[in-house]
């Protein structure tokens, strides 16, 4: 097990370097001069342009710029946003909890519906229920997020008046961020009704962001379950006269979960990508929206820093998933 | 498992408890986050909308108009030669306070001088704080124009200019000249946190900032001690909502009262909603196609005229702007003083155009490029589509136009360098003065500069003489005459094909009282009230 952990952890260094390289050079491939963008609509005179280029270090060869950037990153300095002049890390830490809160709710939503649906579909293979679940999940998987979000807003907010349109909480509440997780902060505050307002605001974005992972988890659970249900030990369990519930819930599910756990880990990346669109539709103040703005404004420090930080988070989650995988699957634990 | 159970419990749909109602809260669904709280370095309308409520200027634009009215200065005197301005500052303008700072004095001449020096003098300790890029101060030509800014006494400031400049007062009413507290700045400098001045702002405006959460909300409260009297609303909230359709959904539901930039596809529905009024006003802007007049074939006025007659303006505006634009015949919008309505529009006449082109030496037509901006702007919602329509019209007189585009920054830079033959561009006015269009966009000075806004590179002496003279004359009646003549010359010389003036459309809920559209496209809520539903 120790060796497994060590191998896995040692992979982090090259991955980290890879992310810095990609984040740094990809944005520079996008046409557009950050100084021009900074100057706004009416352009900038050449002398001042040059002066600003120097100030930001853009006059140096790209490879030197990368060296400087990397050495600063290693010292924990991600730079300042060119637009707001705030440190990248400060902005990230103010916005990240909102993204995590939404992503956690979305994944819980996906698991709560996806797992049982996948299991039932496997048990009742080829039934109407099975076809229904697979059809719905295929639709969910191919759902354009933007459209899906707007449709839900139109139906549930505008027509039925059940949920608020967008935002994290009703504007009448002012909650001082303590943890940054609004569900927790509202519980800590004395404001009556604030918590439920936060919950109501979470419903639609959770559904929208959770739709794709839900579809993936349902399909994955079904196929993993089908495979496991055909195994010898299930037949043995049946022969022993165990109840159907015990067979499925105890024997089959535990083994079927192994690939599902990996998929959940991979979905973290998907959740962050989905967050970009979901956050824009629902005016959710998270890192997705922040990064999109940075792309449009060619805010190099924010893009580099933001991509790096998100990369680290995805890496950490996947490492955790791999370790869990080792825990639940003895074959990996014993390094075979 | 426990953790997910907790989250599951929290995320389960629940439709409970309505939120409590506050006194008079006006919610504006803004389109984005402000860059920061220092208007001196801001370049976007989004930031100006926020900072306009916090800071005051020496002079202001009247609400809903372009006329300059007293602001922090109760009155002012201008010397006979137009180079010395003496401002008498009101004595009752108070600054806001925040957690870290309580002002001990009212706003005075020191604060006004600080506003200038911070943007002007490199040795000012605040020159580089947050950013040294004081865009508008430079763009409005202040470094060259200002000779001195002096404090005469606590409530009198004397500004001396290097030469007379008629639009100077209008320039001072622009947001870049918002006045910050020098006392606050000094205190923060002493504390070693100068950047706080631009993050936790203190101004003397009608609202003070309560809190700001990036990409979520900007929250203001009415400042009870505002010199102009407390605002009619108690709280002002900017709910940041980037998507236009979502803004509309929020407005429909009453989650906000005013929204900017509606989606054209939603306009019909907005017009039908009984709870919403769709306000409209021709904005201070122009969308145009500039001919590069120093390059062949556009150095010949006959070619330019022929092109102007070959393109069907009305069809273009109808197809692309829908209800959000009116055809333009002058470089300045009809709502601006000195607009010359007697100027005759070039009629759409492909036959005559073809003849004129033959006269100019191109009987078999010609080939040219046609640049289309890669971005959407109010004055040009779809440059590509416009280019296609123009291309089709031009083909009818034998002109083969090749549509080109570049990344936006690159596009502007190349157009300003004059690399095109024909390029679309546009302008939104800054200060309501015709000088800001006619001199800035069509004067010789800006044609000769590599970063100038005159992308037609059109330098025509009779025109330039008029607009340069109008810059130094202070009498508005005389200036009007000069600008009206200039528009006649513009039309004869045809350096541009003027396309359209965008109309700004603003959906506002019916309970909002006395909201006025700003010709500058700003959103200001001082003076606005809410009636009970």
Q: Let me know if residue B1 belongs to a domain.
A: no
8 A C-beta contact, residue A278 and residue A208? yes
Q: Say which DSSP state B278 is in.
A: E
Q: Is the pLDDT of residue A336 over 90?
A: no
Domain limits at B90? Answer: 56-203
Tokens 């200060």 identify what position?
B431
Strand stretches in B384-487, DSSP E: 399-404, 422-428
- What would the pLDDT profile of A86-116 be if each residue is shown by its tens digit? 899 999 999 999 999 999 999 999 999 999 9
In chain A, which residue's Cα lies nearest the Cα of B41?
A39
Check CB contact under 8 Å for B237 and A171.
yes
Confidence of residue A177 (pLDDT cuts 50, 70, 90): confident
The verdict on a CB contact (< 8 Å) between B243 and A281 is: yes
Residue B17 lies in a domain: no
State whether B328 and B474 are in the same domain. Answer: yes
- Cα separation, B391 vs B289, in Å, equals 12
Is B453 found in the same domain as B360? yes
Q: B253–A157: do the CB atoms touch at under 8 Å?
A: yes
Q: Please report where in the chains the tokens 């440190």 appear, as a residue.
A: A87
Residue B6 lies in a domain: no
Q: Longest C-alpha distance within chain B, in Å? A: 86
**Total count of domains within chain B:** 3
Contacting residues for B386 by C-beta, under 8 A, at least 6 apart: B316, B320, B372, B380, B424, B499
| B155 and B294 assigned to the same domain | no
Q: Do B383 and B486 belong to one domain?
A: yes
Q: Scan residues 183-212 of A and list those with Cβ closer than 8 Å to B.
A: 183, 192-193, 196-197, 199-200, 202-203, 206
Q: Which residue in chain A has the smallest CA separation from B44?
A: A40
- State the fold for domain A95-335: MetI-like fold (1.10.3720)
B262 in a structural domain:
yes
Taking the C-alpha atoms of residue B482 and residue B409, their distance in angstroms, rounded to an integer, is 34
- What does each of the 533 residues of chain B score in pLDDT, given as a tens digit? 344 444 444 444 333 333 444 589 999 999 988 988 999 988 888 899 999 999 999 999 999 888 899 999 999 999 988 899 999 999 999 999 999 899 999 999 999 999 999 999 999 999 988 888 888 888 888 999 999 999 999 999 999 999 999 899 999 999 999 999 999 999 999 999 999 999 999 999 999 999 999 889 999 999 999 999 999 999 999 999 988 999 999 999 999 999 998 988 888 899 999 999 999 888 889 999 999 999 989 999 999 999 999 999 999 999 998 778 899 999 999 888 899 999 999 999 999 999 999 999 999 989 999 999 988 888 888 899 999 999 999 999 999 999 999 888 788 888 988 999 999 999 988 888 999 999 989 999 888 877 678 999 999 999 999 999 998 888 889 999 999 999 999 999 999 999 999 998 999 999 999 999 998 889 999 999 998 76
Q: Is B290 found in the same domain as B237? A: no
Kindly list the residues from chain A whose CB atom is less than 8 angstroms away from the CB atom of residue B210: 174
Please give the interface size between A and B, counted as residue pairs whose CB atoms are below 8 Å apart: 171
* Cβ-based burial of A244 (10 A; exposed 0-12, middle 13-18, buried ≥19): exposed
Closest CA to B360 of B421, B423, B295, B299: B299
With a CB-CB cutoff of 8 Å, which residues 92-131 of chain A face chain B?
94-95, 98, 104-105, 108-109, 111-112
CA distance B255 to B25: 11
Contacts of B9 (CB under 8 A, 6+ apart): none
Handedness of CA B464, B468, B473, B476 (dihedral sign): positive
Hey, what long-range contacts does A183-186 have (CB within 8 A, 24 or more apart)?
A183/A101, A183/B10
pLDDT category of residue A43 using cuts at 50, 70 and 90 = low
The answer, for A258 touching chain B at a CB cutoff of 8 Å, is no
Distance from CA of A223 to the nearest CA of B (A): 23
Does A290 contact B214 at a Cβ distance shorter than 8 Å? yes
User: Which chain A residue shows the shortest CA-CA distance from B24?
Assistant: A172
Chain B residue numbers touching A83 (CB-CB < 8 A): 35
User: Do B225 and B149 share a domain, yes or no?
Assistant: no
Q: Is there a single domain that holds both residue B364 and residue B427?
A: yes
CB-closest option in B8, B198, B406 to A112: B8
* Residue bearing the bigger pLDDT, A170 or A49: A170
Of B184, B203, B222, the residue that ends a domain is B203
The answer to whether the CB atoms of A171 and B17 lie below 8 A apart is no
Check CB contact of A306 with chain B, cutoff 8 Å.
Answer: no
Domain annotation covers residue B314: yes
Same domain assignment for residues B95 and B187: yes
Helices assigned H by DSSP within B40-195:
45-54, 109-120, 135-139, 142-145, 168-172, 182-190
| Residue B226, pLDDT score | 96
**SS3 state of residue B101:** strand
Report the alpha-carbon distance of residue B98 to residue B103 in Å, rounded.
9
Tell me which of B243, B245, B252 to substitute to probe the interface with A (most A C-beta atoms closer than 10 Å).
Answer: B243
Whether residue B255 is found in the same domain as residue B132: no
Domain spans of chain A, in order of start: 21-74, 95-335
- Minimum CA–CA partner of A285 in chain B: B215
- C-alpha span between A133 and A139 (Å, rounded): 10
CA distance B217 to B209: 11
What does pTM read for this prediction?
0.85
Q: Which residue in A has a C-alpha nearest to residue B129's C-alpha?
A: A85
> Across the interface, do B453 and A290 touch by the CB < 8 Å criterion?
no
Which chain B residues touch A172 with a CB distance below 8 Å?
A: 19-22, 25
C-alpha B286/C-alpha B427 separation (Å) is 5
Chain-chain contact of B36 with A45 (C-beta, under 8 angstroms): no
Q: In this structure, is residue B39 part of a structural domain?
A: no
Which CATH number is B269's domain given? 3.40.190.10
* Same domain for B224 and B299: no
Q: Would the CB atoms of B215 and A33 count as touching at under 8 Å? A: no
Domain boundary among B183, B203, B223: B203
Say if CB A103 and CB A209 are below 8 A apart.
yes
CATH code, domain carrying B324 = 3.10.105.10
In this structure, the answer to whether residues B438 and B319 fall within a common structural domain is: yes
Q: What are the phi and psi torsion angles at B152 (to 5°)?
A: -85, -50
- Residue A82, classed as helix, strand or coil, is coil
> How many residues are there in chain A?
336
Map tokens 């909002």 to a residue. Answer: B512
B317 plus B424 within the same structural domain: yes
């Amino acid at each position: 097990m120790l060796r497994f952990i060590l191998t896995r952890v040692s992979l982090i260094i090259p991955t980290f370097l890879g992310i810095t390289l990609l984040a740094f050079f990809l944005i520079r491939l996008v046409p557009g001069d950050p100084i021009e963008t900074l100057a706004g609509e009416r352009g900038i005179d050449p002398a001042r342009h040059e002066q600003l280029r120097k100030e930001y270090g853009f006059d140096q060869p790209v490879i030197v710029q990368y060296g400087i950037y990397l050495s600063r990153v290693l010292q924990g300095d991600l730079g300042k946003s060119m637009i707001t002049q705030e440190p990248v890390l400060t902005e990230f830490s103010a916005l990240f909890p909102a993204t995590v809160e939404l992503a956690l709710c979305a994944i819980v939503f996906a698991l709560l519906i996806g797992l049982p649906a996948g299991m039932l579909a496997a048990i009742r293979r080829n039934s109407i229920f099975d076809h229904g679940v697979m059809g719905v999940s295929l639709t969910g998987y191919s759902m354009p997020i933007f459209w899906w979000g707007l449709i839900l807003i139109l139906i549930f907010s505008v027509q039925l008046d059940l949920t608020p349109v967008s935002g994290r909480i009703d504007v009448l509440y002012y909650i001082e961020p303590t943890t940054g997780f609004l569900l927790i902060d509202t519980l800590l505050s004395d404001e009556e009704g604030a918590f439920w307002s936060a919950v109501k605001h979470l419903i639609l974005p959770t559904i929208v962001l959770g739709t794709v992972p839900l579809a993936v988890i349902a399909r994955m659970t079904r196929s993993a379950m089908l495979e496991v249900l055909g195994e010898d030990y299930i037949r043995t369990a049946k022969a022993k006269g165990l109840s159907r519930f015990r067979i499925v819930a105890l024997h089959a599910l535990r083994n079927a979960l192994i690939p599902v756990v990996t998929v959940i880990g991979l979905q973290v990346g998907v959740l962050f990508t989905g967050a970009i669109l979901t956050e824009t539709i629902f005016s959710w103040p998270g890192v997705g929206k922040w990064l999109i703005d940075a792309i449009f404004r060619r805010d190099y420090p924010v893009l580099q820093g933001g991509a790096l930080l998100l990369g680290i988070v995805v890496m950490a989650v996947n490492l955790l998933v791999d370790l869990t995988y080792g825990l639940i699957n003895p074959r990996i634990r014993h390094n075979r | 498992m426990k953790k997910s159970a907790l989250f599951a419990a929290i995320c389960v749909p629940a439709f409970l408890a309505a939120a409590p109602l506050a006194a008079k809260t006006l919610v504006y669904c803004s389109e984005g986050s402000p860059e920061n709280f220092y208007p001196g370095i801001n370049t976007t309308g989004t930031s100006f909308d926020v900072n306009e409520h916090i800071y005051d200027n020496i002079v202001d634009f009247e609400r809903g108009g372009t006329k300059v009215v007293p602001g922090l200065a109760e009155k002012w005197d201008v010397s006979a030669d137009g180079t010395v301005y003496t401002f008498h500052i009101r004595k009752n303008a108070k600054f806001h306070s925040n957690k870290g700072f309580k002002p001990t004095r009212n706003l005075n001449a020191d604060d006004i001088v600080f506003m200038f020096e911070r943007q002007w003098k490199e040795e000012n300790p605040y020159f580089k704080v947050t950013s040294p890029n004081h865009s508008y101060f430079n763009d409005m030509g202040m470094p060259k124009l200002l000779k001195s800014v002096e404090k005469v006494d606590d409530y009198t400031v004397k500004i001396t200019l290097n030469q007379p400049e008629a639009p100077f007062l209008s320039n001072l009413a622009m947001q870049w000249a918002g006045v910050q507290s020098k006392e606050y700045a000094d205190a923060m400098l002493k504390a070693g946190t100068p950047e706080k001045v631009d993050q936790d702002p203190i101004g003397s405006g009608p609202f003070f900032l309560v809190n700001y959460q990036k990409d979520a909300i900007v929250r203001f409260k009415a400042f009870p001690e505002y010199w102009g009297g407390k605002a009619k609303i108690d709280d002002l909230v900017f709910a940041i909502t980037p998507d236009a359709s979502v803004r509309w959904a929020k407005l429909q539901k009453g989650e906000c009262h005013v929204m900017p930039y509606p989606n054209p596809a939603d306009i019909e529905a907005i017009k039908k909603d009984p709870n919403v009024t769709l306000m409209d006003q021709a904005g201070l802007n122009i969308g145009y196609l500039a001919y590069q007049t120093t390059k062949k074939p556009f150095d010949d006025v006959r070619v330019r005229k022929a092109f102007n007659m070959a393109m069907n303006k009305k069809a273009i505006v109808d197809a692309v702007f829908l209800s959000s634009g009116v055809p333009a015949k002058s470089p300045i919008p009809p709502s601006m003083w000195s607009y010359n309505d007697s100027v005759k529009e070039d009629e759409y006449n492909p036959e005559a155009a073809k003849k004129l082109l033959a006269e100019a030496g191109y009987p078999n037509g010609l080939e040219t490029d046609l640049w289309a901006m890669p971005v959407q702007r109010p004055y040009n919602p779809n440059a590509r589509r416009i280019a296609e329509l123009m291309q089709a019209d031009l083909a009818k007189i034998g002109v083969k136009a090749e549509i080109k585009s570049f990344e936006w920054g690159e596009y502007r830079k190349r157009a300003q360098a004059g690399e095109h033959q024909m390029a679309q561009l546009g302008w939104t006015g800054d200060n309501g003065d015709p000088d800001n269009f006619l001199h800035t966009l069509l004067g010789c000075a800006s044609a000769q500069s590599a970063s100038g806004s005159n992308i037609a590179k059109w330098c025509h002496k009779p025109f330039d003489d008029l607009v340069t003279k109008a810059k130094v004359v202070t009498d508005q009646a005389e200036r009007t005459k000069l600008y009206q003549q200039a528009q006649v010359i513009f039309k004869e010389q045809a350096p541009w094909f003027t396309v359209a003036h965008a109309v700004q459309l603003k959906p506002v809920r019916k309970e909002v009282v006395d909201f006025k559209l700003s010709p500058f496209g700003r959103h200001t809520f001082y003076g606005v009230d809410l009636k009970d539903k």
